[in-house]
Structure 1
Amino acid sequence: MNWKIAFIDDEPLVRNHLRSLLAWEETGFVVCGEAGDGQQGMELVKSQQPDVVIVDMSMPGMNGLELTRQLSEAYPRLKIIVLSSYDSFEYVRGSLSYGAVDYLLKHQLNPGTLGSVIGKVRKQLEERVTQLRAKEMADIALARSVLRDHLLGAEPNLQPLEHYFSESDPGKAPPRFVLMFVQLAHYEVLTARLKEQELNAYLRSVADLCDQATGGYPLSCTVDMDRGRWIMLISSGHERSEHALAQSVLAKAARLEASLKIYMNLAATILTSPFFPSLEQSCEAYHKLARRAEGQVLQPARGGQVAKAPYVTIGQEKRILAAMEAMDGEEASAIIKEIMSVEQQGGANHLERMAGELVQIAAKVARKADIPADWVAKELSVFQHPGLTRDRVQAVVCTIYARLAQELYSMNLPSGQSRHVRQAMQIIASRYREGVTLEETAERLAITPSYLSRLVKEETGRTFTELLTEQRIERSKQLLREGDTPLKELHLKLGFSSNSYFIRVFKEATGETPSTYAQRMKRKAK
């Protein structure tokens, strides 16, 4: 996470000095703006909402002490660091009494002193986020418990639920509410196919999709009512237009239906209640929806079995998983295009099922690597639109795999490398087939080739060309272990100009030819 920092000082040289003293992005900050006096500083903070400001004590007009006082009153969560000289130290003491967290002396300003103060402030920011998240989780858990008890007929104190929703609209008129009712189809089949631990994880994923589709904390509260049923209590927030509210609820329901179908290959009955003005009425609204749903819930297939075979074969899934293990989004996209090129009966329905299976494989990769994959659901909004084409479905799924490959690669980069080297290595990983050059990469990073060459050598111990060759050789080893690509075609997948050149480079790197390596791996696998 990058925090935002701003500088407020009437001397441009001091602001330039502050900007250049630290590699701000590497310390977890991004410089969001600068101001030359107190009034400009107030406007900057209002527009940019920084997390931290460094304020000079001696400025014309509104001095740093007065600015600190006003900022502390208007933005109590803002961290203020004051910058002073010896003759303004009385101002420093005053600013600390107004809430400044630390100070820097101009004559001692260097990377060490600045880095020490910034490190302390970053720790305070991180601790605050941890505390806020803990409070948020506690509020969510309590609100869900109260809502569930209320819907089941108990008479709990609804004040925690009122407090939960008041966070979304503080100081405004009380919001109106609507219930969204979700019942999974084929729930019995799902419980028969999955072990208890797998089922619990699966149902948590459904609950997460419900939260994402309806707005999450503090605009909605999702409750698991057991046996594949969820209830979302949704606040109207600031919106007062009846038409806008109705359209918003319809959009949320459509988004949820699409996400369940594509992300998890699930069908569901989704119903919504009319808006009601008080939380007490949510119980009555729930029972009305439950009665409506009784005749609409989809039944499982005969014999409790899912009739249709999967669109993605086991062999194709293994190839996709191998491509993702190599963090090769381009190879995964090629396999996806191959799968989706086969004509199937069923029109848009088969497109949705096929995409659903492919996205589930991506979700499996993300879970195994412990990568949060909430963003996948956001990519699925395309499936809410009519007239869906194969090309559009294919583009969305390929985009998901490309981003997943990039995140996997980022996770596996060595720590301690500079931003430019990390970006260069990502470019090599994604474009090694094209024979990307040092010059092209440097141009993309907006630095000179000689500077990039020096950085790469200093931080990795290898040249740019050696890294490119290493990427190709590692990928060739994996393709050889899979055994699905003919030896004579390997060089085409790896960006080598000819098969003979590939064999020579492979032997120089590994001490054996590709065919010898493949035979050895085959014997080892037996």
Structure 2
Amino acid sequence: MLTLLLVDDEPMARSHIRSIYPWREWGFDIIGEAANGSEALAFCSELVPDIALVDITMPLMDGLTLLEQLKLRYPDMQVIILTAHRDFGYAQKAIQKGASGYILKSSGNTDETKEALDRARHEINKQRATGENLKFRQQVMQNYEYPIRKQFFADIVSGLVSEQDEIIRKASSIGLHIHAERYILLVCIADKPGSVSARYSENNYNPAGLGLLDIVRDLLNQSCPVKYEIFPTEAGHCAILLLASGSAALAEWQEEHAFPMLNAINDAVISKKSAAVSLEDTTVSSEEQPMVSMVVSEPFTLIRQLKDKYHALLSYTGHRYYQKKPQPIILSQAAAFHRQLTSDYETLYESFQTVIQDQDRVRLDKWLAQAELVSLHYKPHPEQLRQWLHTLAQAVELHSGDEPVTDWPVFKQSASLFESTEQLRKWLIAWWDKQNKMVKTRPEIARSIQYIKKHLDADLSLELVAEKVELSSAYLSRIFKKDMGISMTDYITEQRIQLAKKYLTDGTYRNFELAEKIGFKSYSYFCTIFKKVTGQTPNEYKNSRVSIHSES
């Protein structure tokens, strides 16, 4: 049921119009009357009708003036003019000003009146359909803005959409206007998106759970001197397209805004004041907080070049590995990585063996500083350097005796060279402390440990070990706990889990074979103990580790 307002200065005329037509049967309801334009506007301020039937000739405010006011204030309202034969010229003016039709007051022609009303009804339905579609589209764009942008960008960089006009047309269809004379593409990457993103829904397009996209957008809104568009690409990554009318503004952005922009992003990401990170969220350690790096293209002129620029930027993201604190990597200023490791790394490997043997922390720190210096000078590809760091485990194995090398650092997870060397330093110091603790144990304990390590696949017990080293179980239990700091039962479990880690990393046995090989009576019990000790299931641990031997 559409609503109508009847506006005529003659009460009898209003009464006649009310009574002569079957309004409700036609689907209309007259919800009010007004004697002049001023009264009509006052009524509409309280209740806006779908259609206004307006007489042209009225005191205070004539019909044409009221028509202009109604269309100005309520553009979707349909206005039908009520006129007599002598006012036909005014009716034509009214239609030119936006009236949807007119009704001759004196004729009483039902068909003509209904036709005028149906035309108004058709316009209202069309407007409502358009409005609903627009509202729905806006809602979709608002709710799915990042996924839509992500798909659009993916279509371009994959080559699915490649022609200049096609890219601009598709962008326009999702509300993006990317036509410009010059562009610069930026890629922002969080170092450790995986460390905390698992705690968030996959549909939450806040990389690493820290609202990177919103942080970047807010900062660009505050300081970017040119127009921009932002696109999520994958977890912890986003691309930013800068658009300008000339190269000067973009060159200025590179020189004056890139560095402070990146610093501001990282300050916002790691700041406890950031609204994206709760002060009560203690599950994210300071080491897990992702830092964001940025790679910046040179200016380009055609949007169809976006694909090549993006892939070029990705190939240079590795330069972040050689930065202590992320700095913008300007593509035009970045040198290519050294193709292969030099003989300096052979020298470093040989001196590393001496460091291991001497167990001298001062010498270790000097060696790490030298390794950093050599790497910063030559800058091999980060993957090559990470693989070389993995091979250092072989040097450790030569000095480990029967002790398996476990929990070797996973250098692939380190964001920078300096993080890698710190990982290595911490591991070696912990390993030296463990080795020294073993050396200082009394002979009875040493014999007990030796027997345990050789028989981890057997049914070990305190009584059995005590028998083998010819001590009472009570006395052995007491001195073992005193020297080793843990009970023998816990030590046996610890050694079995360490051996399991080695087998899982090396792929020596299939998971279900491990239980018997390390002395567990059932695979399910092994899984329970393994998760209790490590916090991971055997499968999770295996998938998280990189085999030392496969990296060498």
TM-score interval for Structure 1 and Structure 2 normalised by the shorter chain: 0.3 to 0.5
Structure label with greater radius of gyration? 2
